Amino acid sequence: MHRLLRSEALSRLPISIRRFAIPAANGSPDDLAHLLDLVVDDEHRYTQCLPVLYANLDPDRIPDEEHLNANAVKCANFVLDSLADLEYAPKSTWPELWPRVWAWIAFFEAYSECLAEPLTRPHVRFDLLRFVRTFDDDDTTKEDINRTAGWRTLVMQAWLMILESEDSLEHYVFPDLCRAVGDMEITTEEEFEEVLDGAQGPNNLGCVVVQTIERLLVTNRPYISDSGLSFLTLILLFLENLGQHKTISPALMHNGGASVFTAAAGICHEVDHEYDRSAVQQKAVLLCLNALSSMLSCHSAMRDALASGLLHSILYCATFSPDKRLPSEMRGLEQILTRTLPGSTVFQTVLAELDTQLQGVRNTLESPSFQRCWMYKDWLKFMAFADDRIAFMKHVQSKDFVSSKACDNMECGVIRPKAEFKRCSHCQQVYYCCSDCQKLDWRAGGHRETCRSIPIFASKNKNLGMRNLHFMRQLLHRDLTEHRYSENSPLVASIRLRVLRNLAQTSESDPFVTVMDYGFPDGPILYMEAISWMEDFWSMSYPVYWEEHIARMTRSHGRMELHVMIIPEGFMFPGRWGPRTRHLMFPQRSQRPTLHESVRHLLKSGGSNVQKADIQQLLTVHDSIVRIH
């Protein structure tokens, strides 16, 4: 025990004080009240009386529920009030004071509805924030607090109470709250559950964080105040320490986090011309981008972030050197710039917003200082990528563009403008050139059995929207055509060639499928694979109606290929090479037998003599064949 907390020290007090100190240490509330009045303004005497306060916080004195009116409760109330700012308690005593302070705070919280006035402490959660803020000034006590089970729950409950108050940012313990959450360590699953428990679940936690940041951004100045910047940084550090992106990022996005965090990054880099605070601003912007990074691979979040000024915040980061920042601080920025932004250009809704936002930053490329910065090559690469996709989007949207369709009666080979077809009135997913083809497909083509199930699978991609699906279909068709005739794009990887040869010779029922994977930063990757492999690894996780597509392909007399488009769509988490992906099936129809049929025939007849180059040569055959998706 620390020497200043030992009861023997009371013997050195003058009799005028000792006569109250001894009974007060033994639990007399009247003597304790009198003692505190005597020493409240005398630092030396107050410090000498610390053994009295320490004794009255003894956890052994905490009563059970049948003795809640005990004098011990009154005395603990007096002591907690007296120690509120630890003004006269030396730091060396704090590690021993904290466990006792916490024990009584936990008691008052647990029995808050059972204690009668004046024993109750209605704001005991706020008391905790004040104690944590003060104790945090001592590293040893700070570590002890973070090892204490349960305190995180009360801090989160206090956050909820503050947010419900009329003017939460002016609440007297709001600065203490920000300090507490900013320094909070969350390293175990149990500690994470404490946070969720106090916040009443992940979605409510996301709501609390987003609402608090929103309120911090409300200012009548073009830049955030020093205190606001400090509070924002502490909340962002809390999210950084919280980790658990798989739980928290969806909750943040659901509550509008993409727009709010982007707006926060934007206001953080606005300059206060009175003095330089660039180091703090840079850290806040990078923390905002870290919080954004895991949700921006969701197309709706990327669109919202772009509309809120994401590009300006990224370009702001070009003004400082990454060598002076920790790798963990740069993680979000680098991920967004090199992977997420390029990957999001498969979405027409994102491209439309990107086209608008790029108009305000294009002149940045002309700046000599930007051309010398660390970001220039990555930004140039992204711009080339974006401009290509935007130009193609405008081509698809132009009046001159005609979308073609093939009749979904596999016995029919008609290919013509989509507007000339009629859809099945029930599933709304299949098209016919005439009523005779519709009747034939219903009777003998299998649509009678699949008409009800097709919309179920189609609905799983409903959140993409028809505009995105239409654009993706056209983008796949364009990219597939370009990649097929590229010498740098082997259709079959060497490690898979033997497998495909064996399948071609032994399994007529295992067709091939072309895969175009858009999850790579340098552009899509094209390869051919066996459907059995695709089904074994992916069919349980992705909404592709394999049975229907395979059945239609089988009835197509070799004129239909199956093409899978893999797009990045979902939350991107640290430790993964990329975000979750969504698989979309866009079959290709041809006027003549398809490439897949030619490859299968070559592998079947040529056996082990077939090489990759032989397969590549097939790509140049029948250039004039009409092919549509």
Interval 406-444: pLDDT, tens: 999 999 989 999 999 999 999 988 999 999 999 999 998
Averaged pLDDT of the chain: 88
Q: What confidence tier does 394 reach under pLDDT thresholds 50, 70, 90?
A: very high
Share of the chain above pLDDT 90, in %: 56
Residues forming beta bridges with residue 406, ordered by sequence position: 415
List phi, psi (to 5°) of 126. -70, -35
Residue-wise pLDDT for 83-121, tens only, equals 988 889 999 999 999 999 999 999 999 999 888 888 899
Q: What distances in angstroms separate CA 347 from CA 267, 302, 473, 586, one per listed residue? A: 28, 10, 11, 16
DSSP letter, residue 12:
G
- pLDDT band at 553; cut points 50, 70, 90: confident
What pLDDT score does 537 carry?
A: 56
State the CB neighbour count (10 A cutoff) for residue 565: 24
Contact between 287 and 236 (Cβ < 8 Å): yes
Which tokens in the block code for residue 496?
A: 């898979």
Give the pLDDT of residue 629.
75
| Cα–Cα distance measured from residue 159 to residue 208, given in angstroms and rounded to the nearest whole number | 8
- Give 578's pLDDT tier (boundaries 50, 70, 90): low
Q: How confident is the model at residue 353 (pLDDT cuts 50, 70, 90)?
A: very high
Nearest CA among 594, 566, 565, 562 for reference residue 581: 566
pLDDT > 70: percent of the chain = 91
pLDDT above 80: residue 34: yes
At 509, is the pLDDT very low, low, confident or very high (cuts 50, 70, 90)? low
Q: Is the pLDDT of residue 186 over 70?
A: yes
Mean pLDDT lowest for which of 38-47, 450-459, 574-583?
Answer: 574-583
Give the per-residue pLDDT at 153: 98
Per the confidence metrics, is the pTM higher than 0.85? yes
Mean predicted confidence (pLDDT) in 311-337 = 89
Question: How many other CB atoms are there within 10 angstroms of residue 234's CB atom?
Answer: 19
Q: State how beta strands 581-585 and 525-530 pair.
A: unpaired
Q: What single string gives the DSSP state of each residue in 374-416?
A: TTHHHHHHHHHHHHHHHHHHHHHHSTT---EEE-SSTT---EE
- What is the pLDDT, as a whole number, of residue 230? 94
- Residue 593: the pLDDT is 66
Asked whether the predicted pLDDT for residue 606 surpasses 80, the reply is no
346-355, 447-456, 498-507, 558-567: range with lowest mean pLDDT: 498-507
Overall average pLDDT of the 65-86 stretch? 90
3-state secondary structure 308-325: CCHHHHHHHHHHCCHHHC
> Residues 319, 320, 321, CA angle at the centre, nearest 5°?
135
Closest CA to 477 of 429, 407, 526, 428: 526
- 239: pLDDT strictly greater than 90: yes
Q: pLDDT tens digits, residue range 247-265? A: 899 999 999 999 999 999 9
